[in-house]
């Protein structure tokens, strides 16, 4: 029997969205508008890639989805926090996200700013509340790693360098820095969080770190490709927006063909890292392939 | 021998600022401008009230400043994150803070936004890294409480309701909500963090929670009074800015004299909560009095 990735992703997405609905502040609690704004962005249709990676990594080492669900939801909170802030007028100034008006276009800039802030705080509250049977020191280790991947040593750091590189000639090293930090850090942290909470061994953790880093890079290269060659309806934002903003991308630096080749090579390396794992890692294998096969 | 609050505050402030300098990302690491922006706001002159409360609460139950220093620094990071975001054009649009240009006036809106984001993530990284001899489950409990006090159930929630109340007729209940959440939650969390990490007993924690809530309220009433009756040079921003923005304040609702009476009553209640503690709580007692004696 071959592994059915589509069924797996659908099932996980439904469970994750039910959990998000449970963990997010309710709209009948003060301040209502803030909670509406948070839910508007959090419950917009999405792939739920990060929380799915938390779950798939936990399952790959024998853990359960249930036990890592609060942390899975936390990773989605951090991802959406970054999207809301990235879309603000002082950043990318985007009107649309996932095919819907961006948060600040609906709720105003101040509310969008605060919704992002609240989501980042909520993420750490959820991780600390983690119902996992993991010992407290594993939870702390997980939390530390996610905090590091979210701030200046990860996502925010990558965002700053990306912003500063707009309209500049960018070296391959800088591009790699941007991608490894802006997107890669949180994807890798998602994989490691699931593994840590499910009490993976040191060797398993190192293998999953390599997997996370390779799919992180593959994901960002694929995103760069989609921005020039994708389907607008599927990516939910106008094609060519990176070019318009003169952003540093793989396609700009290496061209479309070489970028495709590199994305596939990263996926191969990710699969290679999973070689010691049994069939419980099939979801991780499927996700790695899916990342470049989305539209390329 | 009477307790010398001024000497105590000075000594702690110096140790806190040395620790902040140690924990903040260095300006020679990428992205440099982000780190300069973070340090610009974090190392601006300040009272360091929150980190000092963490230390004083730990000392009150027999703990040491050293063991709670990373968490003390984390509380200052969260406080400064909120100041940077509050000052942004889409929020209060302030040009000055603590007598210096606000972060976005120096580094631009995008960098200020990201500096705040990075500080919030760094705060949780520092708490998770806490070198305290406290067991991991105490650290997790502390972290959870601080996360809750920072987001929609605390500071951010209070900020939203404050924002929505501008230009509105506000009930005493709403005003209390704003103050308890916007300022009180993080002050109370600071006191509780120190107590928890120093392994305070349940009875001590409840007493310190009451202390924290009373000084939180006293602090905000005092701030409202300072805004109309304070010394511009000392508060570092123009007198009357709350009135100009038609913000909900104690002075607006109850008048200057009744507000002064209430601030003093809160301090008395805070001191009462400390009755079971010995001389090791003298710094907490001194801080409670200092809050209303600053300029009133």
Interface of A with B in 222-281 (CB under 8 A): none
| Partner B contacted by A168 (CB < 8 A) | no
Cross-chain Cβ contact A156/B114 below 8 Å: yes
Number of structural domains found in chain B: 1
Q: What is the pLDDT of residue B247?
A: 77
Of the residues A109, A118, A182, the best mutation for testing chain B's interface (the one with the most B CB atoms within 10 Å of its CB) is A118
pLDDT tens readout for residues A171-206: 999 999 999 999 999 999 999 999 999 999 999 999
Over range A56-74, report the average pLDDT: 97
Out of A90, A120, A122, closest to residue B110 by CB: A90
Interface of B with A in 198-227 (CB under 8 A): none
Asked if residue A134 has pLDDT above 90, the reply is no
Cross-chain Cβ contact B125/A139 below 8 Å: no
Q: What is the pLDDT of residue A231?
A: 64
Out of B85, B140, B159, closest to residue A140 by CB: B140
Smallest CA-to-CA distance from B21 within B68, B69, B56 is with B69
Q: What is the pLDDT of residue A127?
A: 96
Q: What is the pLDDT of residue B27?
A: 97
Asked whether the beta carbons of B82 and B131 are under 8 A apart, the reply is: no
Closest residue on chain B to A145 (Cα): B125
Q: Which value, in Å, is the radius of gyration of the alpha carbons in chain B? A: 18
Domain span at residue B29?
5-293
Q: What is the pLDDT of residue B236?
A: 57
Asked whether the beta carbons of A269 and A214 are under 8 A apart, the reply is: yes
CB neighbour list of residue A127: distance below 8 Å, 6 or more residues apart = A70, A71, A74, A139, A142, A143, A146
Of the residues A38, A71, A90, A136, the best mutation for testing chain B's interface (the one with the most B CB atoms within 10 Å of its CB) is A90
Residues of chain B found within 8 Å of residue A33, distances taken between Cβ atoms: 160, 164
Q: What is the pLDDT of residue A2?
A: 79
Over range A41-68, report the average pLDDT: 96
Cross-chain Cβ contact B121/A38 below 8 Å: no
Q: Lowest-confidence range among A154-163, A284-293, B223-232?
A: B223-232
Q: How many whole angstroms separate alpha carbon A222 and alpha carbon A235?
A: 12
**Bridge partners (DSSP) listed for residue B100:** B97
Over range A37-41, report the average pLDDT: 98
The pLDDT tens digits along chain B (296 residues) read 579 999 999 999 999 999 999 999 999 999 999 999 999 999 999 999 999 999 999 999 999 999 999 999 999 999 999 999 999 999 999 999 878 999 999 999 999 999 999 999 999 999 998 766 789 999 999 999 999 999 999 999 999 999 999 888 889 999 999 999 999 999 999 999 999 999 999 999 999 999 999 999 999 999 899 888 776 655 555 666 676 677 778 998 999 999 999 999 999 999 999 999 999 999 999 999 998 887 54
Cross-chain Cβ contact B156/A25 below 8 Å: no
Of the residues B23, B93, B110, the best mutation for testing chain A's interface (the one with the most A CB atoms within 10 Å of its CB) is B110
The whole-angstrom distance between A206's CA and the closest CA on chain B is 21
Residues of chain A found within 8 Å of residue B150, distances taken between Cβ atoms: 121
Look up the CATH number of the domain holding residue B180. 1.10.600.10
Q: What is the pLDDT of residue A232?
A: 59
Residues of chain B found within 8 Å of residue A132, distances taken between Cβ atoms: none
Residues of chain B found within 8 Å of residue A109, distances taken between Cβ atoms: 90
Out of B91, B119, B144, closest to residue A125 by CB: B144
Three-state SS across chain B?
CCCCHHHHHHHHHHHHHHHHHHHCCCCCCCCHHHHHHHHHHHCCCCCCHHHHHHHHHHHHCCCCHHHHHHHHHHHHHHHHHHHHHHHCCCCCCCCEECCEECHHHHHCHHHHHHHHHHHHHHHHHHHHCCCCCCCHHHHHHHHHHHHHHHCCCCHHHHHHHHHHHCCCCCCHHHHHHHHHHHHHHHHHHHHHHHHHHCCCCHHHHHHHHHHHHHHHHHHHHHHHHHHHHCCHHHHCCCCCHHHHCCCCCHHHHHCHHHHHHHHHHHHHHHHHHCCCCCHHHHHHHHHHHHHHHCCC
Residues of chain A found within 8 Å of residue B107, distances taken between Cβ atoms: none
More confident residue, A134 or B130: A134
Threshold 0.80, pTM exceeds = yes
Interface of A with B in 58-97 (CB under 8 A): 81, 85, 88, 90-91
Does ipTM come in above 0.85?
yes
Residues of chain B found within 8 Å of residue A166, distances taken between Cβ atoms: none
Q: How many whole angstroms separate alpha carbon B186 and alpha carbon B250?
A: 20
Q: How many whole angstroms separate alpha carbon A177 and alpha carbon A6?
A: 32
Average pLDDT, chain A: 93
Interface of A with B in 114-143 (CB under 8 A): 114, 116-122, 124-125, 128-129, 135-137, 139-141, 143
């Amino acid at each position: 029997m071959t592994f059915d990735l589509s069924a797996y992703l659908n099932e996980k997405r439904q469970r994750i969205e039910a959990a998000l609905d449970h963990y997010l502040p309710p709209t009948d609690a003060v301040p209502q508008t803030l909670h509406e704004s948070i839910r508007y962005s959090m419950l917009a249709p999405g792939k739920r890639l990060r929380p799915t990676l938390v779950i798939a990594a936990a399952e790959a080492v024998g853990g359960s989805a249930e036990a890592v669900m609060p942390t899975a939801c936390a990773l989605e909170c951090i991802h959406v926090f970054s999207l809301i802030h990235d879309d603000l007028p002082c950043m990318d100034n985007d009107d649309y996200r996932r095919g819907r008006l961006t948060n600040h276009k609906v709720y105003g800039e101040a509310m969008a700013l605060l919704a992002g802030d609240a989501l980042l705080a909520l993420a750490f509250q959820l991780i600390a509340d983690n119902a996992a049977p993991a010992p407290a020191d594993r939870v702390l280790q997980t939390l530390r790693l996610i905090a590091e991947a979210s701030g200046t040593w990860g996502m925010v750091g990558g965002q700053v360098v990306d912003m500063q590189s707009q309209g500049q000639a960018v070296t391959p090293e800088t591009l790699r820095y941007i991608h490894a930090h802006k997107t890669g850090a949180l994807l890798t942290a998602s994989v490691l969080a699931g593994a840590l909470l499910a009490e993976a061994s040191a060797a398993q953790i190192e293998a999953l770190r390599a997997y996370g880093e390779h799919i992180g890079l593959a994901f960002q290269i694929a995103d760069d490709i989609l921005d020039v060659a994708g389907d607008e309806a599927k990516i939910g934002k106008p094609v060519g927006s990176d070019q318009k903003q003169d952003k540093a991308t793989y396609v700009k630096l290496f061209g479309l063909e070489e970028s495709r080749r590199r994305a596939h090579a990263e996926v191969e390396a990710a699969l290679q890292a999973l070689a010691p794992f049994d069939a419980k890692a099939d979801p991780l294998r499927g996700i790695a392939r899916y990342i470049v096969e989305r539209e390329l």
